[in-house]
Amino acid sequence: MNLEEFLNQPVQKAVQTIFDISPEKIEFQLTRKDFEGDITLVVFPLLKLIKGNPIEIGNRIGTFLVENVVEVEKFNVVSGFLNIVISGSYYIKFFSEIKNNPTFGFVSQNEKEKAMMVEYSSPNTNKPLHLGHIRNNLLGFSVAEIIKASGKKVYKTQIINDRGIHICKSMLAWQKFGNGQTPESTGLKGDKLVGNFYVAFDKQYKAEINDLIAQGQKEEEAKKNAPSIIEAQQMLLDWESGKPEVIELWKTMNQWVYDGFEITYKNLGVNFDSYYYESNTYLLGKEVVQFGLEKGIFEKDPDGSVWIDLTEEGLDRKIVLRSDGTAVYMTQDIGTAIQRVKDFPDVGGMVYTVGNEQDYHFKVLFLILKKLGFDWAKHLFHLSYGMVELPSGKMKSREGTVVDADDLMDEMTETAAIISKELGKLEGYSEDEKQKLYKIIGLGALKYFMLKVDPKKSMLFNPEESVDFAGNTGPFIQYTYARIQSILRKANFDYSETITTLILHPKEKELLKMLEMYPRIIQNAANQLSPALIANYTYDLVKEYNSFYQTVPILPETDLTLKKFRVQLSQKVGETIKSAFSLLGIEVPERM
Cα 454 to Cα 8, 212, 216, 295, 383, distances in angstroms: 31, 47, 50, 40, 11
Q: Look up the CATH architecture of domain 88-161+393-592.
A: Orthogonal Bundle (1.10)
Task: Return the sign of the alpha-carbon dihedral for residues 508, 509, 513, 514.
Answer: negative
Tell whether the model's pLDDT for residue 407 goes beyond 70.
yes
As a whole number of angstroms, the distance between CA 357 and CA 542 comes to 35
Q: Which of 94, 178, 183 is nearest to 511 (CA)?
A: 94
Which pairing describes strands 115-119 and 347-355: parallel, antiparallel, or unpaired?
parallel
Which pairing describes strands 380-385 and 81-86: parallel, antiparallel, or unpaired?
unpaired
pTM here is: 0.92
Q: Is 185 helix (H, G, I), strand (E, B) or coil?
A: helix
Are residues 515 and 572 in contact, defined by beta-carbon separation less than 8 angstroms?
yes
Q: Is 570 helix (H, G, I), strand (E, B) or coil?
A: helix
pLDDT value of residue 465: 85
Domain residue limits, the chain:
3-86, 88-161+393-592, 164-267
**pLDDT tens sequence across 15-47:** 999 999 999 899 999 999 899 999 999 999 999
Tell whether the model's pLDDT for residue 243 goes beyond 50.
yes
Tell whether the model's pLDDT for residue 100 goes beyond 60.
yes
Q: How many residues belong to the chain?
A: 592
Tell me the DSSP string of 150-161.
TT--EEEEEEEB
**pLDDT tens sequence across 410-453:** 999 998 998 888 877 677 888 999 999 999 999 999 999 999 99
**pLDDT tens sequence across 459-477:** 988 888 888 888 899 999 9
Residue type (1 letter), 363: K
Tell whether the model's pLDDT for residue 290 goes beyond 60.
yes
Is there a common fold for 3-86 and 88-161+393-592?
no
pLDDT value of residue 463: 81
**pLDDT tens sequence across 553-575:** 999 999 999 999 999 999 999 99
pLDDT, mean of residues 544-552: 97
**pLDDT tens sequence across 182-193:** 999 999 999 999
Q: Which CATH superfamily is domain 3-86 in?
A: Arginyl tRNA synthetase N-terminal domain (3.30.1360.70)
Are residues 270 and 138 in contact, defined by beta-carbon separation less than 8 angstroms?
yes
As a whole number of angstroms, the distance between CA 446 and CA 457 comes to 17
Are residues 42 and 81 in contact, defined by beta-carbon separation less than 8 angstroms?
yes
